[in-house]
Amino acid sequence: MPQGAPLLSVEHLTTVFETAAASTLAVTDVTFHITAGETLCLVGESGSGKSITARSIIRLLPPAAQIAAGRIMFDGGDLLGLTERAMERVRGAQIGYVFQDPMTALNPVLTIGRQIEETLIVHGVARGRAAKGMAIEWLRSVSMPDPERRAREYAHQLSGGLRQRALIAMALAGNPRLLIADEPTTALDVTIQAQVLDLLRDLRQRLGLALLLITHDPGVVAQMADRVAVMHAGRIVEQNGVRELFRQPQHEYTRRLLAAVERR
């Protein structure tokens, strides 16, 4: 498991939903870290606060949500202290994000290649003909079949697995050091799920990425994680190395989560 100073440290994060009627805690006092080259899986059932935690890190929250307390340290600086313009330079260029639903995340009126090109242009990596060539190379790097043709196609022309590959290519085009993948295998069949996980594992090793993988599936955790943070009702209830957690879970919720996998 990679060692060293954390690349990302989330410290006592609390995120709330504010409405006219009430203030509701979505994430409460969440603390974890990720070192360079490491995979941390944040695991829990739907509604446990995993995605809100991930979106708090990149400060892309729903309108009613806001960060009420905590620090989010990335490479020594507090992301919560940045202006929105400075934060825009972090998203994509330093922290890549793979959203849960590729069909929603991809622009339906732009080709896949054009969307990757725009990422390259925004982050000052390349423009013009160079950006077009790099977009195709990023599609090739995520094992997209016939990347030249796929670059000219639209999201609706691709299968679910190919859309996910396109979204990963887009998230990586800014050369980030950390990739956050929010349930990247949801709604994919078992064979395609395995291919996407293999791809993420290969990219992490090849590019030296740190990976924060959000999932509800302990089976994905077993395949991918160096360490695991278990989330329940907006709180992290247990953290450990993946082998230690599966061998001897400490929290009752973790034991129930693992038992559900064994009953499948």
Q: Classify the phi-psi angles of 198: left when phi > 0, otherwise alpha if psi is within -120 to 50, otherwise beta.
A: alpha
Q: Which three-class secondary structure state does DSSP give residue 242?
A: helix
**Measured CA distances, 160 to 55, 106, 138, 259 (Å):** 23, 12, 18, 30
Q: How far is CA 57 from the centre of its chain?
A: 10
Share of the chain above pLDDT 90, in %: 84
1 has a pLDDT exceeding 50: no
102-148, pLDDT tens digit by residue?
Answer: 888 899 999 999 999 999 999 888 999 999 999 999 999 999 999 99
Q: Classify the phi-psi angles of 157: left when phi > 0, otherwise alpha if psi is within -120 to 50, otherwise beta.
A: alpha
pLDDT at 3: 60
225-234, pLDDT tens digit by residue?
Answer: 999 999 999 9
Residue position matching structure tokens 């299968």: 159
pLDDT at 263: 57
Structure tokens at 206: 């090849």
What is the C-alpha to C-alpha distance for residues 153 and 117, in angstroms, rounded to an integer?
14
What is the C-alpha to C-alpha distance for residues 80 and 95, in angstroms, rounded to an integer?
14
| pTM tops 0.75, yes or no | yes
Query: Please, what is the average pLDDT of the chain?
Result: 93
- Distant-in-sequence, close-in-space partners of 52: CB < 8 Å, separation ≥ 6: 15, 26, 27, 61, 65
pLDDT category at 185 given cuts 50, 70, 90 is confident
Structure tokens at 137: 């190379």
28: phi then psi, degrees, rounded to nearest 5: -130, 115
3-56, pLDDT tens digit by residue?
Answer: 678 999 999 999 999 988 888 999 999 999 999 999 999 999 999 999 999 999
pLDDT at 190: 87
Mean pLDDT of 159-166: 93
160 has a pLDDT exceeding 50: yes
189: phi then psi, degrees, rounded to nearest 5: -70, 170
pLDDT at 131: 96
Q: How far is CA 87 from the centre of its chain?
A: 17
